[in-house]
Amino acid sequence: MEHQFSGRIKVDFDQSFDMMVAAGHYTWVSRDVAAEFFPRSARGVVECEARLFHFQEFGSSEQVVRRITEADRGRPWQAGQWEHVLAIGAQHPEEQTKSPIPGLGSIVTIGGRRGVLCLYGGGTKRNIRVDPWEGEWALSFGFLAVRPA
C-alpha cells in the first residue's frame, strides 16, 4: 500500500452543495452530481488530515474501506465523505489529474443504484461524477481517507 497525497483540508459543512461544487471549478459535472442526492452530514468548519491511499490489488468498496480503517489502528482513518471529496477538489485541484478520487464514506442511491462521488481528470480536465459502489476498484484510484487534524 502506498499513498501520494498527504495533507490537510478544511471542510465547511455549512456551505451548500452547489457552493462546494462551484468552488472546485470543474471542467464537467455529471447530471447526477446534484444536491438532491447529497444530504449534508454535519455542521461547522472542520480541519482534517487527508490522505489518498493507493492499493496494490483490486478490491470491492467494502474491502477498500476495511483497508483504509486498518491502515493505522492507533489513529484510524475513515473513508472520505462527499464533503471531503469536494474540499480536496477545491483545495488541491491537481490531485484528481493524477488519479481518480472516490469518497467511499458517503453512499448515495440514484435510480435504484448505489454510488459515490468521484473526482477524475487528466491534463487540464477536472471532472466530477457518481461512480458505482458495486464492483471492484482499479489500481489507478486514490481513495480519500480523513481523520481529525
**CA quadruple 137, 28, 52, 146: dihedral, nearest 10:** -110
- Residues 83-115 have pLDDT tens digits of 999 999 999 999 999 999 999 999 999 999 999
Tell me, what DSSP letter sits at residue 92?
-
Chain centroid to Cα 68, Å, comes to: 13
Q: What is the count of structural domains for the chain?
A: 1
User: What is the edge-to-edge ordering of all strands in the sheet holding 2-12?
Assistant: 2-12, 45-54, 143-148, 78-79
CA 72 vs CA 12, 17, 28, 95, 138: distances in Å: 26, 31, 35, 23, 22
Phi and psi, residue 144, nearest 5°: -75, 130
Q: What is the pTM of this model?
A: 0.94
Instruction: Note the pLDDT of residue 4.
Output: 75
* pLDDT tens digits for range 23-82: 999 999 999 999 999 999 899 999 999 999 999 999 999 999 999 999 999 999 999 999
Burial-class residue 31 by CB neighbours within 10 Å (0-12, 13-18, 19+).
exposed
pLDDT at residue number 108: 96
Question: What's residue 1's pLDDT?
Answer: 46
- Look up the domain containing 110 and give its range: 2-148
Q: What's the CA gap between 94 and 108, in Å, rounded?
A: 25
Give tens-digit pLDDT for 32-44: 999 999 999 899 9
In this structure, what C-alpha cell is assigned to residue 134? 458495486
**Cβ distance 77 to 31 under 8 Å?**
no
Q: Cα angle at 47 between 93 and 108, to 5 degrees? A: 65
Which residue is it, cell 486514490? 142
